[in-house]
Amino acid sequence: MSLPERTIVHMDLDSFFVSVSRLEHPGLFNKPVIVGGSSERGVVASCSYEARAYGVHSAMPIRMARRLCPDAIIIRGDYERYSHYSGVVTDIIHEQVPLYEKSSIDEFYIDLSGMDRFYGCYSFASELRQKIMKETHLPISFGLSKNKTVSKIATGEAKPNGQLKIDLGTEIPFLAPLPVRKIPGAGEKTCTLLRSMGVEKVQTLQEMPVKLMEKVLGEAGISLWKKPTASIIIRWSLTMNGSPSVRKKLLTVTPSTSFS
C-alpha cells in the first residue's frame, strides 16, 4: 500500500542574524557582515552572502574568517532582537497554516498536504513568503516538495531570497547532481569519508545498494557507523529507494499547537 503524497514546505530566513542587524543598521546592507564573538577565539554565528563569497561560513573561527575576508564588518549578536523577530515570523505562519513545525530560530516546516484541492500549494507558499517579507522586511526562502528532506535541500538551492518547487516524481533527478554535503545531517566527517570512497554526488549514493553502503561504512569504522551522520546517509538511501517506513518517519510534522 502506498502512502498518500504530502506537500511539505521548508522556509528558512536568509542569513537571519545579519538580516535582523541590517534592519536596525542599514549601513550594513550590501557589505560583508559577520555576526559572532569579537574575541579571537569566537566563531561565526551567521554571515552575509557578501562574506560567503570569500569562503566564510557559519561555525568557522572568527580568526579564519577575518583572514579570508579582511574587509568584513564583524558585529556582536543581539539575541534578544533575533528572538523577537523569530517570534514575529512564527506568529505570521501560525496564523496562516494549520500544521507546522518550527525546527530552529529561523526555520519552519509547513504541511500543506491536501490543500491543492482548494488552492495551489505553491501559490499559497509564495504568498506566505511575500507576506512575511512585507511585514518583517526580512528575506526568506522556501523549498516545496513531497517531504522534509527534499524541501530543505530545495530551500538551500533557492537561496538567497528565492523559492523552488520540486515536482512530484522529479526528486531523484533534482538531487542527483548535488554534492553529498547538501544532505541535511551529512557532517564533514561523513562527507570526507564518502569522498575518500569516490562518492561526490548524491547520484552515486542513489546508485549504491544499501547493503554495500552498510558494508563500506562498517569497514571504515564501527564508531562512524554508530554516529547519527552515518545513519542519516543510510536512511537517506532507503528514502530514495522508497521504503515506506522510512518515508513515514521523514514526513512526520508536529502539530502547530505545540508551539503556542
Active site residues: 107
Residue 109 lies near Mg ion (rule: CB under 5 A):
no
Give the residue from 31, 38, 28 showing the smallest Cα distance to 61: 38
Contacts with Mg ion by CB under 5 A: the residue count is 4
Q: How many CB atoms within 10 Å of residue 200?
A: 15
Burial 3-15 (b: 16+ CB within 10 A, else e): eeebbbbbbbbbb
Find the binder of Mg ion among 8, 16, 65, 194 (CB under 5 A). Answer: 16
Which range of residues in 72-80, 83-91, 100-108, 131-139 is near Mg ion by CB under 5 A?
A: 100-108
Which span sits near Mg ion by CB under 5 A: 10-18, 74-82, 148-156, 177-185? Answer: 10-18
Q: Which is nearer to Mg ion, 155 or 239 (CB)?
A: 155
Which residue in the set 106, 139, 164, 230 belongs to the binding site for Mg ion (CB under 5 A)?
A: 106
In angstroms, the CA 93 to CA 17 distance is 19
User: Least distance to Mg ion from the beta carbon of 228, Å?
Assistant: 21
CB 185 within 8 A of CB 178: no
Closer of 45 and 193 to Mg ion (Cβ)? 45
CA 176 to chain centre: 17
Candidates 12, 50, 111, 171; binder of Mg ion (CB under 5 A) is: 12
Q: Which phi and psi angles does 145 have, rounded to 5°?
A: -160, -165
Determine the Cα–Cα distance for residues 74 and 64; give it in Å rounded to an integer. 13
**Which residue's CB is nearer to Mg ion, number 159 or number 247?**
159
Which of the 8 DSSP states describes residue 256? Answer: G
Residue with Cβ nearer Mg ion (8 or 13):
13
Dig out the grid coordinates for 32 from the structure.
560583508
Which chain residues interact with Mg ion by CB under 5 A? 12-13, 16, 106
